[in-house]
Structures are given as C-alpha cells and as structure tokens.
Chain A
Amino acid sequence: MAELSWPPQGKAAVVGKPVERIDGPAKSTGAAKYAYDINAKGMLFARLLGCPHGHARIKSIDASAARQVPGVRSVKIMKEPGKGRKSEVLWEGDLIACVAADSDGAAREGVAAIRVEYEVLEPFVHEEFLAAAEQAGRTRSGGDNIKLQREPGDDEDEDEFADKEIARLLEEADVVVDAYYGIHSICHCPLEPHGSTCVWEGDRLLAHLSTQNVSGTPGQFASPLGITANDVTVHCDYIGGGFGSKFAADSWGVVAAQIAKETGRPVKLMLDRDLELKNAGNRPSGFIRVRVGADKQGVVNVWDSHHWGTNGPSGAPVSQGVIPYVFDPPNRRRRVTRVRTNTAPSRAWRAPNHPQGAALSQTAYDDVARKLGIDSYDVFMRNLPSVSNGKADVYAEQMRIAADLINWKSKWHPHGKGEARGSIVSGLGMALHTWGGGGHSSSCLVKIHPDGGVETFLGSQDLGTGTRTVIAMVVAETLGLPPAAVKVHIGNSQYPQSGPSGGSTTVAGVSESNRRGATAALEELAKLVAPKLDAKPEEIEAVDGRVRVRGKPNRSLSWKEACRLLGMKSIEARGEFKRGQPTDLSSSGVAGVQMAEVEVDRATGVVRVKKFVAVQDMGLVVNPLTAKSQIYGGVIMGIAYSLFEERIFDARTGKFLNADMSSYNLARLGDIGEIVVELYEPESEYRRGVIGLGEPPVISPGAALSNAVCNALGVRVPVLPMTPQRVLAALEKASVSS
C-alpha cells in the first residue's frame, strides 16, 4: 500500500466538516444503553461494604447475619481478617465485602448486617501540612533534579555548588517571587459510576462494563476467574464518563462475575456515589514552595522549588517533569517529597500531572508580572523562548488570537488596580499547556457489501467524545460516501483490537486504522471496477458517491453499481496502526493557550467566570463540532476544579466527609460564563495529520483562573479550589501584612 495521506486542506469532502454526532438521537432519546442501563432476566443486585475508618486492621468479619437477610443470595469477603498486610485497610471506603440479593434494598440491608471488628489505627489525610506529615512519619524524599548553566569545579561538592549558585542567581535577579501554591486532589466523579452487569452464557462471561478500555479488559476478568480471555466478552456501547478512571475490570467487576458464576444468575454491580468517590479515582494533589528569579522584563532565569503531595497510600506526588510547566528556565532545581496518606490510590485523571504542573508554576510566572507591575501577557510572551517543546512560535500566535478574543489589551489592568463596581472587581489571567496526543495502536475490519453497505468493526469505545462519528467520517471520506452511509461497530471486545481511550490517543489511532482499512477495501473494489472503466486499479478513486477514473467524472459507476460487481462476496479489509509508527496521517505534540476573565466579590470571596477563551491546535481537525465539544468539556471541568471541587477529609477518623453529589460541588451551567473556543488549524498544523485532543483543554484552567483572580484582587489566592473561604483568607492575610 502506498503511503497514505489526507486530502489537501480545504479539499476534503467530509473530514473537517461539522458533522453532528451519529449517535446523538440515541443518546438524547434514551435509546442508547449505558452499562448502568443493562438489565438481565433474573438478575441479582450487588452492593459493597466500605470500611468506615481511614486506617484500620480487620480483626474479624462475621457475615452470618447478612446471609440471613431475606433475599440475600451471596456474600463475598474481599479483605482478609488477620494480622498480615492484607488485613490492613488504608483508606475509608476501601472494600471489605460484597452482597448480592434479589433486590437493591435487600443487598443494602445485607451490607448493613455484616459485622466487622476493627483495630482502628491512626489515619493521616491532610497532606497539605508538610510539617504535620513529617511529624507523622508520612514523608519520604522523592529526589531532586538540578539544571544549572554553570558547572561546579572539579573539587566542588555538587550540592553545595548548587546551593551557592542558586543563591547567587536569586541575588542577581531584578525580582524574586517567593511563594506558595497548591492544588487539592479531586475525584473523577463520572456521572455514570463504575460497574458492570455480568452474565454467564455457559462457560463464557459477558461483562457489560462501563469502560474506556474495551479491548484491554477481558484478560483482567479472565485471570482471577481462572479462565482465559477468549472466554470473556466485554461490551460497552456508551459510557457516562471515565476521564482516565475506567481502564480496569476492577475488584468489584471480578467479584460480580464470581457471584454470577456461583449463583447462576446475572449480577449487576454499579458503585453507589459514596463508594464511587471513595474508591474509583482521584487525582494527586500538589503543594509547592518556590523561589523564582527574573529580570526587569519578567524573563525567568532561575527556578528553585520544593513540592509535595500524594496519590494516596504510596505517596507519589505530582511528577517533577511538569515543574515548572512548559517553561524551562536556564537554571532550575526542583525537590520532591512524597506524602503517604490514608486516601484511595489515584488513577490517571485527564492529562495526568499537567493541570497540577500548570497551577503550581504558571501562577509563579504571573506573580513575577504582579511583582514587577507589568502585563502578564508580556511576561508569558517574553518567556516563550524557554518553552521545552519547541513550540514558541505556535504559542505566540495562539496568544495573539486569544488576546484578541478576550480583548486583553483594552481590558487588562495592573494586578489589583482595576475599577471596582461596589465590591466587585474583575481581572484577566492566562496559561498555556502542552500534550502528546499521538494515536494508540488500533486495528479495524472494514467491510463493503455487494449491496453497497459499508461497515467497520473495532474494539474501541466512545468515551463520550464522538468517536463513532469520527470513525464514520474517516471511512466516508475514504470511500466518497456520506457519514450516514457507514455503520460503525465499536464497544465489543470481539472486534479487532483497539487501544484504550486514554491520553488523547483515540482519534489519531482510530483515524489511522480506518483510513487504512477503508483504503485497502477500496483498492479491492478498484480491482473489479477498473476493467469496467478501461482503467488501471490505481487510477480509481471514490468521490461523491461514485467510483471513477481519477479526475474523470464521466468515466464512473455509482457506488451501488460498483459494489454490485462483488457478486456474492463482501470485501473484508483490515486496517492496522502501531503506536509510534511514523505516518503522514497522524502526529503528536500540541500547544494551547487559555485566557480567563473573572469577577470577584471582595466582600464574600465569591468568584464568577465571566468569559473563558481556549485556543487549541490538534493538527488536522476531523470534526470541528466534536472537537469544540471536547474543549468546552475540558474548560468546564477546569472551572470545576478551580472553584468548586474538593475532597474533604476528617483528620481524626480519616472519613471522606463529602462523598455525595450535594456536597462534592461541581460547576453548574450557571457557573461557566461564556466559553469561546478557537480551533487553531493553519496549514502548518493541518498537514501534521490527526492529533488527540482529550487532555489539552483541561490543563490550563487552574492557572488561568488563579491568575485572573490574582489580577482582579492584587492578591494571590494560592490554593485551588478558590473557595470563598480561601479568597477571604488571602485578602485578610494581605491586609494584615500591609
């Protein structure tokens, strides 16, 4: 097969056009079935018991009363009592047992009837307070990393040299920002919680699983069940959010399958909101003390930081690699401390590490501007030569576009110097980000039938991003058909293997495999069509519903006429893509700039987003409608973690206090202001091919909103989320110190 490419920019028939989701009507009418909607005849309902203590050892478990509850059919113990590690519970909500019953109510009653004897141990849940963590013996060095322009002499100790050199560079700097920032852990909180309905068909398991990893989960079920992956089918047509937390079968998926096997009845086990928030995914927290030295223009020359945080029991904090974020000044030292907490292990949260990196460091760059009394925009622009991804020019252009869209130049005022309307002040802030987004490995099977029908099969999934529609568009483009003519089959592990939807890898992966598969199928068709049109197969193209000799509309067959030449036999063609394989169809590496305009009520500390601009490149834009949706979603999630979302833990008990939707606050429609999305797609980007978009737009909001609030108040609210309490505390601290 010749090396494939996309049509030149502006020449594509389908790709790049705003195509409405092909599954939109199914989703909006309720016809679409999510894992939560799947019910099977004779199904049992399963509920889980979570440990009520943040840290404990299980001495004994007595499930006899639970087994007596009317309707209870099975009780499975998931944690072993005793003395060993396996009996230790490391966070509140960790799963102890599962009860399956004829009704949901009976299952819950069964859970409540389980008697567990605990030895309660000391929990630690407040990692923001480093001294307390040290005192509790919960910290461990995560290493450091030093980069200096000058090198130590042969006889000098490297660490001593670094201390002296950094002190010298800070001394020489025109301005030094010495600051503290933080970003708390948040949960994935998908509206559809984790879970599955497990049905055995003879010796085969059919798991209707809410997953972003259709092809990768059968083996995860099989191994603990003592069967092989060929005896497991995972099915997921629709998923109500995953955000990086739904790659696994999970212990509760396996236990549902086990109970289904033992009882001979299907088992439905979806986490309730409480255990969803406590077990099924969160993002590591990060807190940082930093000194930054810059010149009068705001160009940063030295960065010296110490950050800490947690991902739960193992204590891994935010990666060093994102500190400082995108900018990489000539001299930097970063130290890391791990803090072990009695909180659930984190999972990949949309753009792992990056949102924290931005919030912990681009705030400091903004504080350089504040301290110098100059425009943050200029400081960001002047520091672009130090960006670590080689995209300084792209950022510069995106900054100009974003600034126009938010009217930066006319609205900007020095930090804290804007006009107040009553107690309301307004401000502007910005941040920039980067991500990979290269395609994952993906295989598909494209079929063309003698009656003209076209379908494609792949074990991918639509994470809610419009994957089905994108696949239909790519196949349609390749075969000269409208997207509606292509039937897309995804969401079943029996189909050809395709990667998990994580890390913005799906759109490039499935575009690659389907462009290749559809091209291969068309080549097969061309072999039959060519003789009829007195041409060679390589001269055949499919355009506008017709199969024709390249550039010769009058030497053509309609699509149906062409397909009729197949006789009785359909074409089946594979499309294959291996991650990392160099190709003209896709690429990786994006930039992105976001700017926020906020209003803050100084008397109450309430922050409102007025306008938010997101300028984003993603190579070739397959579908501008779904691309924009992705960005809206990312920005809204960003607003949520910047202003609202936070896990609240009780120090004495380790209890996760707000694990419900009435007190774990998310952004609502009225909270998001006006969001303006600009897809940045000059020819230089278009020709790079398809690049994933899931992560980038969620990275910058924390820093951009923090910077905007700082610009409004003239005072930094150092820790996200910026609740009224934190805003008022920052204002009070500033008024005391001045």
Chain B
Amino acid sequence: MKAFRYASPRVEDEAVDLLEDRWGASELLAGGTDLVGLMKKMVVTPELVVSVNRIDSMRGITADSTGVTIGAGTHLDELLDSPLMDDYPAVKQAIRNIDSLQLQSQSTVGGELCQRPRCWYFRNGYGLLADQGRHVVEGENQYHAIFGNSGPAKFVSASRLAPVLMALGAEIRVVGPSPGDETTMPLEFFYRIPRNERQRETSLEPRQMITHIRLPADAERSCAVYEVRRGAGPADPLAAAAAHCRLRDGVVEAARIYLGQVAPTPWNVEEAARWLVGRTLDERTAREAGEIAVARATPLSKNAYKVQLARVSVERALRLVAGLDCGGF
C-alpha cells in the first residue's frame, strides 16, 4: 500500500471540495470492502482517501408516497432490516444473494454500485482495459463480457444491486463537481463503457459522487432477480437477471429486464422486454424471452457458456415474476 492522506468530512460539499479533478489521485472510501484490497495490491494508489462515513446526510432510508430514498452510505444489512424496503423484495433478495454477513454489514449501497470490475487482468495491474482488451481476448476470458464487448472493455460490471435497481427505475442524486452542484439522473445513465484508460466505468466526473438512491413507489409491479451462483458465499455470480413487469390478469403491460455480470455495464435487454408486452407471462413466454435476450450476444473464446447462463437467468427471473418456481436451483 502506498502512503496516502486521509480526510473524513462531515458534509457532502466538503467531500466534493476535497476530491481531486484527476481520476486516481483521490478515492472515495465508504465500506472499504473493495477499495482497501485494491490499495493493498496497489492497483489504485490514491494520494488522498476521502471517507464518506461521517457524512450523516448520506445515511439512512426515508419514505414518502412517491417512493424511498436511500443514503449512499447506508449499509446493505440496514436495507435487509428495514420495513421501508418491504415493498422491494427483489432488492432484499439481491442483498441476501451476496451471502456474506461481513459484506452485508460492511458494504454500503453506494459502494456496491461503484465497486470496480473484478476482471483479473485489471486486478493484476494490467489496467482497466488490459492492453486495449488484448489480454482478455487472447487469455482467460471465461468470466468476461458476452455483451457490449466490441470495444476495448471486456470486463463485466461487478454490481449485484444495479440490475435490480435499474429494473425498478432507480434514480441517483449526484453532487459535484463543484460544491453546491447537484443533479438527479436515472441509475442507468451512471454506467458507461470506457473507451480508454483515462476513463472509468461510470459517467461521473472525478469530483462527483452519489449521495442518494431513489426508488419510485409502484405497488402494481412485480420484480424478481435471479443469479447463477456457483455456490454459497459472496463469489460473483456467473450471470444474473432482474426482471420487472406490470401484469394485468397475467398479461404483461410493461417490462424491464436487465442482465448482470455479462457486460461492462448492467445490460438492458429491451428487445426481450418489448416482446413480452401484451403476452401472458408463463413458462413458455419466459423461456422465449430468455432466448430473445441473448440472441445478440457476442461471446469471447472461452465464455460462450455464459450465453446459456444469461438466457436461463432471464427465464428464471421472469418465472419468479410470474409467481412460478424458477425451475432450477
């Protein structure tokens, strides 16, 4: 670990003020479950670490008639325990899937959304894009992207909450780059695919940060998440899907489906969602939607099996939305 300066501001603007305007020069610390490991391996070597853990405005969950607002510094297990989150069982399921008391109690919602890719070339110091993607293309890409991988970025987005939050239509509140600046945007706009090593995997600027996540109230919808997990524990799923449908008498009126662990961002499979509208959600349509969802996958040399896993994830998430047994583990 490289020696660094440490700041622990009490208010959002102070944090923004402290952040450097160059990626990597400063890093935000929340639960630390990702950042500390990256710093120990010297994959990131910030000169300044800004903790958000004492910023009270970024903690806790509040609700009103239009939805819930979650402070980015709220720990995952606080969501699990909160009755305010009872209307969002799929979010709780996604947190339970993380299956580690340590991570659930230490990780924050904002940190979970901002964790860096698990790509082993990135984590071994080859850079976020690992030589413009060449290491991945010619190397061990069994866990890499099957969508959105035509550019140099081949990693998969690491967040386990993003697909379900996006399916639910989450928005984020962002502050910066100057103190006093604030903006609200759909979570979907937060992620983007970097084109070069100067960029990161989000659309934020170095002096911006997420302070809150907002979920709209919408009791008529039903949402589910399915992850293909190799086993117990917090290891990354091999593929994941979150599906969110408004159903009337079993017929889909509106749908949103997002894949996780298959692309450099959470991956919106609009075609499958559109196809579902007007159809009865059942075993057959769930299966067919899964097939549509992966029809345009572009697997790398060793990860074609993930196409099947993504297809099954969509099918199973939709079965769960329909109130059916998922059909497998």
Residue numbers in B under 8 Å from A138 (CB-CB): none
Residue numbers in A under 8 Å from B125 (CB-CB): 52
**Which of A603, A606, A665 has a CB less than 8 Å from the CB of B327?**
A603
A422 at the interface (CB under 8 A from B): yes
A20 CA to B162 CA in the complex, in Å?
47
Q: Mark A253-295, 1 if CB is under 8 A from B, else 0.
A: 0000000000000000000001000000000000000000000
The interface stretch among B78-86, B192-200, B223-231, B272-280 is B223-231
A601 CA to B42 CA in the complex, in Å?
39
Q: Mark B142-167, 1 if CB is under 8 A from A, else 0.
A: 10000000000000000000000000
Within 8 A of B (CB), among A43-73: 52
Residue numbers in A under 8 Å from B121 (CB-CB): 650, 657
Residue numbers in B under 8 Å from A650 (CB-CB): 121, 135, 139-140
Verify A601–B328 contact, CB threshold 8 A: yes
B1 at the interface (CB under 8 A from A): yes
Residue numbers in A under 8 Å from B328 (CB-CB): 422-424, 601, 603-604, 606
A52 CA to B231 CA in the complex, in Å?
31
Question: When A424-B328, A723-B230 are in contact, do A662 and B235 touch as well, CB less than 8 Å?
Answer: yes
Verify B305–A105 contact, CB threshold 8 A: no
Residue numbers in A under 8 Å from B120 (CB-CB): 648, 657-658, 663
B233 at the interface (CB under 8 A from A): yes
User: How many of A's residues come within 8 Å of B, CB to CB?
Assistant: 43
Verify B308–A606 contact, CB threshold 8 A: no
Verify B135–A728 contact, CB threshold 8 A: no
Q: Mark B99-124, 1 if CB is under 8 A from A, else 0.
A: 10000000000000000001011011
Verify B140–A663 contact, CB threshold 8 A: no
**Which of B1, B138, B235, B329 has a CB less than 8 Å from the CB of A606?**
B329
Residue numbers in A under 8 Å from B3 (CB-CB): 105-106, 109
Question: When A274-B41, A422-B328, A655-B124 are in contact, do A604 and B309 touch as well, CB less than 8 Å?
Answer: yes
**Which of A274, A603, A652, A671 has a CB less than 8 Å from the CB of B231?**
A671
Residue numbers in A under 8 Å from B228 (CB-CB): 604, 606, 724
A104 CA to B302 CA in the complex, in Å?
39
A650 CA to B136 CA in the complex, in Å?
9
B238 at the interface (CB under 8 A from A): yes
Question: When A605-B305, A660-B123 are in contact, do A651 and B139 touch as well, CB less than 8 Å?
Answer: yes
A643 at the interface (CB under 8 A from B): yes
A108 at the interface (CB under 8 A from B): yes
Question: When A108-B1, A601-B328, A728-B305 are in contact, do A657 and B231 touch as well, CB less than 8 Å?
Answer: no
Question: When A650-B140, A728-B305, A729-B305 are in contact, do A606 and B325 touch as well, CB less than 8 Å?
Answer: no
Within the complex, the shortest CB–CB distance from B251 to chain A, in Å, comes to: 24
A668 CA to B121 CA in the complex, in Å?
25
A667 CA to B230 CA in the complex, in Å?
10
**Which of B99, B138, B231 has a CB less than 8 Å from the CB of A644?**
B231
Within 8 A of A (CB), among B300-328: 302, 305, 308-309, 312, 325-328
Q: Mark A639-652, 1 if CB is under 8 A from B, else 0.
A: 00001100011111
A725 CA to B329 CA in the complex, in Å?
16
**Which of B1, B232, B235, B309 has a CB less than 8 Å from the CB of A669?**
B232
A660 CA to B123 CA in the complex, in Å?
10
Verify B124–A657 contact, CB threshold 8 A: yes
With both beta carbons as reference points, the residue of chain A lying nearest to B312 in the complex is identified as A603
Question: When A605-B305, A606-B228, A724-B305 are in contact, do A665 and B42 touch as well, CB less than 8 Å?
Answer: no
Verify A725–B140 contact, CB threshold 8 A: no
A670 CA to B326 CA in the complex, in Å?
20
Verify A668–B327 contact, CB threshold 8 A: no
A40 at the interface (CB under 8 A from B): no
Residue numbers in A under 8 Å from B139 (CB-CB): 650-652
Within the complex, the shortest CB–CB distance from B240 to chain A, in Å, comes to: 12
B5 at the interface (CB under 8 A from A): no
Q: Which of A424, A604, A651, A663 has the most CB atoms of chain B within a 10 A radius of its CB?
A: A604
Within the complex, the shortest CB–CB distance from B120 to chain A, in Å, comes to: 4
B2 at the interface (CB under 8 A from A): yes
With both beta carbons as reference points, the residue of chain B lying nearest to A640 in the complex is identified as B231
Within the complex, the shortest CB–CB distance from B88 to chain A, in Å, comes to: 25
Q: Mark A86-115, 1 if CB is under 8 A from B, else 0.
A: 000000000000000000111011001000
Residue numbers in A under 8 Å from B326 (CB-CB): 422
A347 at the interface (CB under 8 A from B): no
Verify A662–B231 contact, CB threshold 8 A: no
A688 at the interface (CB under 8 A from B): no
Residue numbers in A under 8 Å from B1 (CB-CB): 104-105, 108-109
Question: When A108-B42, A109-B1 are in contact, do A724 and B309 touch as well, CB less than 8 Å?
Answer: yes
A655 CA to B142 CA in the complex, in Å?
16
With both beta carbons as reference points, the residue of chain B lying nearest to A422 in the complex is identified as B327
Verify B230–A606 contact, CB threshold 8 A: yes
Question: When A112-B42, A604-B328 are in contact, do A665 and B235 touch as well, CB less than 8 Å?
Answer: yes
With both beta carbons as reference points, the residue of chain A lying nearest to B34 in the complex is identified as A662
With both beta carbons as reference points, the residue of chain B lying nearest to A609 in the complex is identified as B231
Residue numbers in B under 8 Å from A655 (CB-CB): 124
Verify A662–B118 contact, CB threshold 8 A: yes
Question: When A424-B329, A608-B329, A648-B120 are in contact, do A665 and B231 touch as well, CB less than 8 Å?
Answer: yes
With both beta carbons as reference points, the residue of chain B lying nearest to A608 in the complex is identified as B329
**Which of B40, B140, B233, B238 has a CB less than 8 Å from the CB of A724?**
B238
Within the complex, the shortest CB–CB distance from B51 to chain A, in Å, comes to: 18
A424 CA to B325 CA in the complex, in Å?
12
Within the complex, the shortest CB–CB distance from B163 to chain A, in Å, comes to: 17
Verify A670–B99 contact, CB threshold 8 A: yes
A719 CA to B312 CA in the complex, in Å?
24
Verify A670–B232 contact, CB threshold 8 A: yes
Residue numbers in B under 8 Å from A604 (CB-CB): 228, 238, 308-309, 312, 328-329
Residue numbers in A under 8 Å from B118 (CB-CB): 662-663
Residue numbers in B under 8 Å from A105 (CB-CB): 1-3
Within the complex, the shortest CB–CB distance from B144 to chain A, in Å, comes to: 12
Verify B305–A667 contact, CB threshold 8 A: no
A653 CA to B136 CA in the complex, in Å?
12
Q: Mark A103-137, 1 if CB is under 8 A from B, else 0.
A: 01110110010000000000000000000000000
Verify A671–B140 contact, CB threshold 8 A: no
A650 CA to B301 CA in the complex, in Å?
14
Residue numbers in A under 8 Å from B230 (CB-CB): 606, 643-644, 665, 723-724
A383 CA to B305 CA in the complex, in Å?
38
Residue numbers in B under 8 Å from A644 (CB-CB): 230-231
Verify B232–A668 contact, CB threshold 8 A: yes
**Which of B99, B138, B305, B325 has a CB less than 8 Å from the CB of A725?**
B305
Within the complex, the shortest CB–CB distance from A566 to chain B, in Å, comes to: 54
Residue numbers in A under 8 Å from B308 (CB-CB): 603-604, 728
A728 CA to B307 CA in the complex, in Å?
11
A341 CA to B120 CA in the complex, in Å?
21
A648 CA to B138 CA in the complex, in Å?
14
Residue numbers in A under 8 Å from B138 (CB-CB): 651-652
Residue numbers in B under 8 Å from A423 (CB-CB): 327-328
With both beta carbons as reference points, the residue of chain A lying nearest to B134 in the complex is identified as A652
Question: When A652-B135, A724-B238 are in contact, do A606 and B305 touch as well, CB less than 8 Å?
Answer: no
Q: List 17 A-B contacts (CB under 8 A).
A: A108-B1, A109-B1, A109-B3, A422-B327, A423-B327, A424-B329, A601-B329, A604-B309, A604-B328, A604-B329, A606-B231, A608-B329, A650-B121, A662-B235, A663-B118, A671-B232, A724-B230
Chain A interfacial positions (CB closer than 8 Å to B): 52, 104-106, 108-109, 112, 274, 422-424, 599, 601, 603-606, 608, 643-644, 648-653, 655, 657-658, 660, 662-663, 665, 667-671, 723-725, 728-729
**Additional 18 contacts, C-beta under 8 A, given A604-B329, A653-B135:** A108-B1, A422-B326, A643-B230, A643-B231, A644-B231, A649-B140, A652-B135, A658-B120, A662-B118, A662-B234, A663-B120, A667-B231, A668-B233, A669-B232, A671-B231, A724-B228, A724-B305, A725-B302
Chain B interfacial positions (CB closer than 8 Å to A): 1-3, 37, 40-42, 99, 118, 120-121, 123-125, 135, 138-140, 142, 228-235, 238, 302, 305, 308-309, 312, 325-329
Q: Which 5 A-B pairs have the closest CB atoms?
A: A670-B232, A422-B327, A668-B233, A657-B120, A668-B232
